[in-house]
Chain A
Amino acid sequence: MDILWQRLIKSLLIAVTVVVALVILYFVALDYLYVVLGGVLVGGLYALAALGLALVFGVMKILNLAHGSMMVLGAYLSFWFFTLYGIDPFISVVLVIPILFLLGFAIEYFLMDKVATLTAHQPVLVAFGLMVVLESLFMLLWTADPRGLVLPYSGARLTVGGLHISLTRFVACVLSVVGLVCLAIIMNRTLIGRAIQAVSQDFKAACFVGINARRMYQLAFGIGAAFAGFAGSLISVIYAFEPTSGLAFVIKALAVIVLAGSGRISGLIIAGVVLGIIESVGAMIIGGGFKDAISFAVFLLVLLLKPEGLFGRRG
C-alpha cells in the first residue's frame, strides 16, 4: 500500500509540475506551448508503441525488430478497412487488435518457438527476416506509395481555454493511455498476467509450478503484436506511412524503452511524453525533416550518458 501511495504522490508531483510549466508557457510563449502540447499528445502514442516491444523483450529476451513493421501492418489494415468498407479507424481498431494478436501468436508458435532452442541471437535474425518479409508484403499489396487517412473530421479541433487541439491527436492519446492501463491490469491482476511475469522472472521455476511456459511466450508475443497493431491503427489517422516506415517506428519505440530504463508502464508513459516533447521542440528548432534523427540521437545519447535510463537501476 505504501509503495502505491508513494508512486501516486510522485505521479501527482510530476503532473503538477507539467501543468505549471504549461501555464507558464501559455503566458510567456504560446508558440512553444503548442509545440510542447503536440509532443505530449504524441508521447502517449509513443509509449503505446514501446509497450509491446518492452513486453516481448522483458518476457522472452528477444528484441523484436519486426515490431515496427507490425505497427505498419496495423496502419495498413486500418487503411484497408476505411477505403474498402468505410469503417472508421477508431472503430476498426477493435478488429485490428485481435488480427495482430493471432498473427503474433502464430509467429511465435510456428517460428520463434522452433528457433528459440538454438542460439541466443537466432530469434533476432528471425525477427529481422520477418521485418523484411512484412515490408515486401506491404509493397506487394499496397505499393510503395505513402498512405494516409483523411477522415471527415481530420481537421476538427477541440478548443480549451483559447487553445486549439487536434481532435484526432487528442483521441489517439486518450486511447493510448487506455491501452496502457489495460495492459497494466492484465499483467498485474489476472492469472495469465502473473504467469507471464513468472516466466519472465524464472523460466524453469515457472515450468515447475505447472505453467505452460511456451504458451506464455506465445501469448506474450501475441499481446506484443496486438499492441503494435493498436498503435499502428492510431498512427494511421495522424501520420502518413509507407512499407518501410517500420524501422523508424521500432527505433522510436526503442528510444522510449531506453529512456525509461524499465518496462514499467508509468515509466514508459513519462519517457514517451519526454521523447515527444524533445522531438517536437527539436523539430521546431532544426526543422521537421529531422524528427526521426532526433529520436535516434536521444537513443544514442541516453545509452552513452545515462544507460540506466530515467527510472532504471544501474547494473
Chain B
Amino acid sequence: MLEVRSLNVYYGNIQVLYDVSFKVEKNELVALIGSNAAGKTTLLDTIIGWLHPKSGSITFNGFRIDHLPPHKVVELGVSIVPEGRMLFPALTVLENLMLGAFTRSARKKIQENLEKVFEIFPALKERKQQLAGTLSGGEQQMLAIGRALMANPTLLLLDEPSQGLAPIIVTKIFSLIKELNNWVTILMVEQNAYKALKVASRVYILENGRIVREGESQELVKDDGIRKAYLGV
C-alpha cells in the first residue's frame, strides 16, 4: 500500500534521513521505533507532503506522492495524527472533527464517520461543544485521532500517540489503536518501544536517520540487542 524507497531528506543543507526504505501492506499495523531526533517526525512529514525528499520515492497505492502537497496526499486517503496533536484550540471538539473532513471525498461520508468516531471515543461525544484547548491530554489525543479518521483515510499515520500521557492513558490509547487497525492500515512512529512492539505486527528501527533493523515484532522482542537498547532489560 505504501512503499518508501531510498529516501534522502534534508533541512536546508542538513541531511536528516539517509536512504530510508520500507513498506506497509494493506491492513498492517507497522511501528517505526526510534529515539529522540532519529528523524521519525521528519519521515512522517515527508510522507504526508509537508516536506519533499531530495531523492528517493514514495508510492501510495501505486501513485508517486513524494512531490504532492499535503492537501493532495490527504485527498488520496492518507491522514496524520501529528506530533503534539496540533488541534485547533480555539475551536470546539465538533468543529475540529468537521475540519478533519475537509477534503471532497471525506465530506461525502461525514455523518457516517462522525458516528463511527463518537462510537470509538464516547468521551468526545459528551464534550463535543467544549473548546479543544480545554480538553485533558488524553482527550486531546483522542480528538486528534478522531479528526484524522474524519478524513476517511485508508492509511493512518500516527506520530508518537503516547507522548506526554499518563501510563494508564497510554495503555488505553494503544488498545484503541489496535482496535482501529481493524478498519484502517496504520503506520505508527514511537519512542515507547515496549508498547509499540506489543501492538504492531511489524517493526522498523530508525537510528540517526537510517533504518537499522526490521522484522516481526515477536522476533524482535526476543533479540538481545533490541532488549538492551530499546526495552531496558
Give A contacts to B, CB under 8 Å: 191, 194-195, 197-198, 201-202, 204-213
**B18-76 at interface with A (beta carbon < 8 Å):** 48, 50, 69-71, 74-75
How distant is the Cα of A63 from the Cα of B11 in the complex, in angstroms?
A: 29
Inter-chain contact B86/A205, CB cutoff 8 Å: yes
Task: Give the distance to chain B from A197, nearest Cβ to Cβ, in Å.
Answer: 8
CB pair A209–B151 under 8 Å, yes or no, is: yes
Q: Nearest-CB distance from A215 to chain B (Å)?
A: 8
From A194, A197, A210, contact of B70 by CB (8 A): A210
A-B contact pairs, 5 of them (CB 8 A): A194-B99, A197-B88, A201-B90, A204-B50, A206-B99
Task: Determine whether the beta carbon of B102 is less than 8 Å from that of A210.
Answer: yes
Q: Is the CB of B70 within 8 A of A208?
A: yes
Q: Is the CB of B71 within 8 A of A211?
A: yes
A313–B50 CA distance with the chains assembled, in angstroms = 33
- Chain B residues near A194 (CB-CB < 8 A): 95, 98-99
A205 to B74, CA, bound (A): 12
Whether the Cβ atoms of A209 and B91 lie closer than 8 Å is no
How many residues in B have their beta carbons less than 8 Å from beta carbons of A?
Answer: 24
Inter-chain contacts of B82 with A (CB < 8 A): 204-205, 208
| In contact, B71 and A210 (Cβ under 8 angstroms) | yes
B89 touches A195 (CB 8 A): no
User: Given the known A-B contacts A194-B95, A198-B99, A210-B106, are A205 and B48 also in contact in the complex, defined by CB atoms under 8 Å?
Assistant: no
Contact B88–A208 (Cβ < 8 Å)? no
A194-B95, A201-B91, A210-B70 known; 20 other A-B pairs, CB under 8 Å? A191-B102, A197-B88, A197-B91, A198-B88, A201-B90, A204-B50, A204-B82, A204-B86, A205-B87, A205-B88, A206-B99, A207-B50, A207-B69, A208-B82, A208-B86, A209-B100, A209-B102, A210-B106, A211-B71, A211-B102
Residues on B with C-beta less than 8 A from A197 are: 88, 91
Q: Does B103 contact A (CB under 8 A)?
A: yes
Q: How far is the CA of A204 from the CA of B159 in the complex (A)?
A: 14
